[in-house]
Amino acid sequence: MAFKDMQVFLYGDSIKVNYTDKTHRYQARERVNWELPKDNPKAWGKALFPKGCTTILGSTLEKKGLQRYPLTKALMYMFQFYEFTDDNGEKKIGYSKKGAGTFWEDPANVSDGSVKMKQFTRDEALEALSYGSKADLRWTQKGADIGSVVHDAIEHYVRKSAGQEVEPFDIASQYKASMESAEYESDRAKEQAKEEADADIEQAKLAYNRFVQWWEETKPELIGAEDLIYSKQHNICGTFDGLLRIKGKGVVLADWKTSNASQSKDAGMPEGVNYQYFLQSAIYAMAWMEMGREEIDDLLIVSCRKDGGFSPIFASDLGLTVKDCINWAKAVIVCLRMMDVTKDALWKHGVENGAVVEKVKKGAK
């Protein structure tokens, strides 16, 4: 996963790939003039816009639970309310913490324990509802921010362990610096982020320290870190976290993840590792070997969670070979390609038959 602008030359300098972090976009160009130096823009053909690995997976695979996620986070933020059916078919409904939630009175001010809802004017309720409805966005961004600083800290650590020169890195100062440059939906959201910063930093340190412990015990050899890959065959880009040589496993393509564990059987990630992570790594491995680099013997997801949980899981631990995962990934790529082709054809068919125009007219009334 890249967190900075990058430019690389691949396939014997016949392909130039740029990554722009601000827009999270890749751009690839094929060399059309070998007489000009590679730093001359005229040496390169028209821009291609490869899809990123996460875009491919996010556009194609299942999203169980995501439709309800914004509503669930809003209700949890405002009322600490939950309602779901567990894996045994038993319905669960209640409050996760009695009296907690921004729409309840402060339990400390209630002597008899009967906490009631706050009294709002219409304008106060509007502001509270608007802020609460965006709880999922704040929660997701917080997780991404913590994950980013953990990834950066790990990259610095593994490079330093391999004898590379790196700048000093401090999790707390980096996290606070990223907060200062971040864009917030409101001043209230920014203040909330500042109030929660110390707790977030502790979570990041916990995840990072578990990774360091594992690294020192496992003693892998670092072959590459944050390498950008490009598949000419599929026009796909991505950046993997680490390429390692591990005793008994061979050359291993690895990704560090900070996702929370889930006890939902549907989610299928009790150790914070989703099946899609292996597909993502398989695409990296496929492109890496297409580029003529080392043969990949195994895939590894290192789950260093913000609650201190830690799980390194190899594809081989699950009975999967690298070839299995690559074939699976190719099937997903074909699904996305056919989905795009069919959607475009349906739209064109609708335009030709007047259905799209009619729909616009109805919507304008």
Residues 316 and 176 in one domain: no
Assigned domain for 86 exists: no
Residues 261 and 226 in one domain: yes
Assigned domain for 288 exists: yes
Among all chains, which residue has been given the structure tokens 């695979």?
61
pLDDT single digits (tens) 218-251: 999 999 999 999 999 999 999 999 999 999 999 9
Assess contact for 35 and 185: CB atoms under 8 A.
no
Assess contact for 24 and 5: CB atoms under 8 A.
no
Decide: helix, strand or coil at residue 160.
helix
For 104, phi then psi, to 5°, come to -100, 155
Residues 282 and 168 in one domain: no
323 token code pair: 């070839």
Assigned domain for 87 exists: no
pLDDT single digits (tens) 15-60: 999 998 878 889 999 999 999 999 999 999 999 999 988 889 888 8
Assigned domain for 135 exists: no
Which one of 173, 194, 218 terminates a domain?
Answer: 218
pLDDT single digits (tens) 257-295: 998 887 767 777 889 999 999 999 999 999 999 999 999
3-state SS string over 192-246?
Answer: HHHHCHHHHHHHHHHHHHHHHHHHHHHCCEEEEEEEEEEECCCCEEEEEEEEEEE
Which one of 218, 237, 261 terminates a domain?
Answer: 218
pLDDT band of residue 98 (cuts 50, 70, 90) is low
Decide: helix, strand or coil at residue 63.
coil
Distance separating alpha carbons of residues 202 and 145, to the nearest angstrom: 13
Which one of 162, 197, 218 terminates a domain?
Answer: 218
Residues 166 and 25 in one domain: no
Residues 208 and 232 in one domain: no
Residues 345 and 295 in one domain: yes
Assigned domain for 334 exists: yes
Residues 208 and 226 in one domain: no
Across residues 90-117, what is the average pLDDT?
Answer: 76
Classify residue 207 as exposed, middle or buried by CB count within 10 Å of its CB (0-12, 13-18, 19+): buried
Assigned domain for 253 exists: yes
Assigned domain for 172 exists: yes
Residues 341 and 225 in one domain: yes
Decide: helix, strand or coil at residue 95.
strand
Residues 343 and 262 in one domain: yes
Q: Is pLDDT at 187 greater than 60 in this prediction?
A: yes
Assess contact for 260 and 307: CB atoms under 8 A.
yes
Residues 278 and 340 in one domain: yes
Assigned domain for 69 exists: no
Residues 224 and 359 in one domain: yes
Assess contact for 92 and 86: CB atoms under 8 A.
yes
Residues 199 and 316 in one domain: no
Assess contact for 80 and 102: CB atoms under 8 A.
no
pLDDT band of residue 96 (cuts 50, 70, 90) is confident
By residue range, what is the domain housing residue 31?
Answer: 1-49
Number of domains in the chain: 3
Distance separating alpha carbons of residues 113 and 365, to the nearest angstrom: 53
pLDDT single digits (tens) 74-87: 888 888 888 776 66
5 token code pair: 């602008």
Q: Is pLDDT at 66 greater than 60 in this prediction?
A: no
